Chain A
Amino acid sequence: MAPLKSLENEYPIIDSNFQSFCASHTIFSVEDFLLYDLDALIAFADNDHTCSHTLKQGIDQLLSIIDSQQPPLLNGLQLFEDAKQNKHVLPTGFEGIDALLGGGLSEGQLTELVGPSSSGKTQACLLSASTVAKHKSSVIYLDTSNSFSPQRIAHLVGQTSGYVFNSQADHRYLQEVLDRIICYSVFDLYQMFDVLHQLKMKLKCQIGKSDCHVRLLIVDSISSLITPILGGSGPQGHAMMISAGNLLKRLANEHNIAVLVTNHVVGGEGGTSKPALGESWKSVPHVRLLLCRDYGSNVANISILKHPSMASGKTASWTMYSFDDKM
């Protein structure tokens, strides 16, 4: 937010006199003003007999600046209307997940997939990406561990839609699907912030254009970006983690995108395992799903750890596609 000095041009009432009055109460910016006791400040202005009126006008001006910048007050009907019109459910292509979640991932929400390695997290991401891309929407895919592969996508598209990619037309179809999945290799959290901020700018410019709407954002895996910065005693790592979550949720809500992130599990007390990233992260996602798979079996289980409207503990299972056999 702005220092008071920068407001002077636009609002002449915030003149040097008002600024020095504020400075004498250690108010240099709009943030300082927000943290200050307003009544006390007005009382100080009252005590200034020479120019109490103009000082109070200045305070009033600051308040109206704040008023114009603050988040909107909505009522339940407006919220519901926005949700009904703009926040749809995106099928992932997994019958198990889609049935469990009542149709798929919700736009505007952050869904987290938790599971040990090779439990099918990346496959879930790839299949969701290809399903959404097949329905002519764009997907942003942030890949942190080089697990994204166009071959696997092609394979999934082939398996799920019966294409064999022998003909020219089939190849063109596949190319179109792949073109709609934009993959970024991201190796640390700062890079992710960069990509997301760029995306935010791009989406802001694209409002109104209906050519190819981004409907799904995938981060596989978010825990590999966050875990390295969580060490140490300072709060910086946690602060960045929460900021990353807030940014993802903001993108999801403002641009009606379903966000899918993956998280690994770590060993807890007494031989149990629990999702990584700790207690603070738990309150970030809207939906948390736990994947697990038996060794040597192709059947994966998925259960709800947390959902805004569904009980935790609900489960479903599906048979995983095996890449190794066929490729």
Chain B
Amino acid sequence: MLSLLSTIRPFSLPPPLHTVPLRVGNVLEIVGPSPSAKTHILIQVAINCILPKHYGGLDQLALFIDLDSRFDIMRFSQILIHRIRIMHSQPTLEPHNGGADYDHTLYNLCMSRFLYIRCSNSLEFLQTLKTLNRRLEKEKEVHGLSVHLLMIDSIGAFHWVDRASMFSSLRDNNRKLFLQSVSEAVVRDIKKLLQVHPMLVIATKSVIYGDRYFTASNEVKGNFSKDNCEERCSRNVPRSHQHFQYREYMPSVWQSFVTHRILVRSSDNHIVTSNSQNSSFYLLEWLLPRSSFPEKIIVKDAGVFVDS
């Protein structure tokens, strides 16, 4: 009974996604230009998913499908170690070697619960989705846990390649574009997968069309601001980010599949980061359901945090 309840009940994701309750079966899209901490947010959610319950996690498996071929396991490991160390420094748990070391058994357990597939084109992605059911079944048996989270980084990775593809546009009664057929097949296969393995889907999406406002100024934020470069790049152009628009490029079948949407972007009204503190600032805004205020988030060594 209780297990049934837990699949229906919405659960809270770790900050910065804590404000809106999500359920398995939901599809959350994180939109933003690169870099805007999209992958970092995924890592944060994944770690929350794989940590055992008494460490504040969900005690489940997480699957990461890497379409950008950019995932850095070292970074993932670093954030996981940070999380584990924080747990051990809590007074309820006995200190482990004075807090300098961390629990390797717990670390190995968590790492083995993180599943990863890298696909380098749309057809590989479809191949993966078509046969994922069986592979997840196998993992479920090995770990005795179910896969709770499906992450896709990033969904539009093959947009240009698929758009340019001549494949299947030559078919007589198949006038649909390849891009369209791929999206339809992806959505169909994920839906089928969700029927067997109820999961929360989180997909990132990069902005691939530059907003004229946005790209020109955002890129140079804080970087050209060294004294000797300043005269070449006068960057005192006032910008109103309230009207930031990104251009949608995913086919409508994907758009209607998405149930929740977040926009992340650079924030530039902060003090330029000094070399001593390794942190970047971004703004996070719920578009679906719409929230009135963007939240400020910080990426530090230890992960993503909400700036209060």
Q: Which residues of A contact B (CB under 8 A)?
A: 1, 26, 31-32, 34-39, 63, 66-67, 69-77, 79-80, 83, 109, 234-236, 238-243, 246, 249-250, 253, 268-275, 278-280, 282-283, 286, 290, 292-294, 297, 299, 301, 303-306, 308-315
Contacts and interface: CB of A to CB of B under 8 A. Distances in A.
B278 A311 contact: yes
Interface in B135-185: 135, 139, 154, 157-158, 160-161, 163-165, 167-168, 171, 173-174, 181-182, 184-185
B34 interface: yes
Nearest to A316: B275
Interface size class of B (residues with CB under 8 A): 35 or more
A234 B233 CA distance: 32
Nearest to A116: B232
A235 B185 contact: no
B250 interface: no
Nearest to A245: B69
A312 B130 contact: no
A272 B216 contact: yes
Given A234-B164, A272-B233, A313-B221, A306 B34 contact: yes
A309 B235 contact: no
Contacts of B68: 283
Interface in B73-100: 73-78
Contacts of B55: none
A301 B230 CA distance: 12
Nearest to B46: A76
B69 A246 contact: yes
A77 B77 CA distance: 9
A279 B210 contact: yes
Given A76-B112, A77-B111, A312-B280, A63 B130 contact: yes
A244 to B, nearest CB: 11
Contacts of B127: 34, 66, 69-71
A314 B275 CA distance: 5
Contact of B171 (A26, A234, A268): A26
Contacts of A243: 161
B69 A250 contact: yes
Interface in B192-242: 192, 206-210, 212-213, 215-217, 219-224, 226, 228-229, 232-235, 237
Nearest to A69: B127
B251 interface: no
B160 A239 contact: yes
A76 B120 CA distance: 19
A305 B168 contact: no
A76 B117 contact: no
B171 A70 contact: no
A290 B171 contact: no
Given A71-B117, A246-B69, A283-B34, A38 B130 contact: yes
A71 B220 CA distance: 37
A314 B123 contact: no
B70 A249 contact: yes
B307 interface: no
B12 interface: no
Nearest to B275: A314
Which of B108, B131, B154, B192 gathers the greatest number of chain A CB atoms within 10 Å?
B131
Contact of A73 (B115, B206, B213, B220): B115
B15 to A, nearest CB: 18
B163 A313 contact: no
Interface string B268-308: 00001101011110000000000000000001110000000
B56 interface: no
Given A67-B131, A234-B164, A294 B75 contact: no
Which of A37, A241, A297 gathers the greatest number of chain B CB atoms within 10 Å?
A37
A189 to B, nearest CB: 14
Given A238-B160, A239-B160, A273-B220, A76 B70 contact: no
A75 B124 contact: no
Contact of B75 (A272, A282, A309, A311): A309
Contacts of B23: none
A320 B131 CA distance: 54
Nearest to A72: B117
| A-B interface, 7 closest residue pairs, ranked by CB to CB distance from nearest | A239-B164, A268-B216, A76-B111, A76-B114, A269-B216, A294-B228, A308-B72
A139 B71 CA distance: 24
Which of A63, A240, A299, A311 gathers the greatest number of chain B CB atoms within 10 Å?
A311
A305 B163 contact: no
B22 interface: no
Contact of B115 (A70, A74, A241): A74
Contacts of A270: 216-217, 234-235, 237
B26 interface: no
Nearest to A303: B223
A192 B308 CA distance: 49
29 contacts: A34-B126, A38-B130, A73-B115, A73-B139, A74-B116, A75-B114, A75-B116, A76-B114, A83-B73, A235-B160, A235-B164, A238-B163, A239-B160, A242-B158, A246-B120, A249-B69, A253-B118, A270-B235, A274-B219, A279-B209, A280-B206, A294-B229, A305-B219, A306-B34, A311-B278, A311-B299, A312-B223, A315-B223, A315-B275
Contact of B278 (A280, A283, A305, A314): A314
Contact of B273 (A26, A67, A269, A313): A313
Contacts of B54: none
A80 B76 CA distance: 9
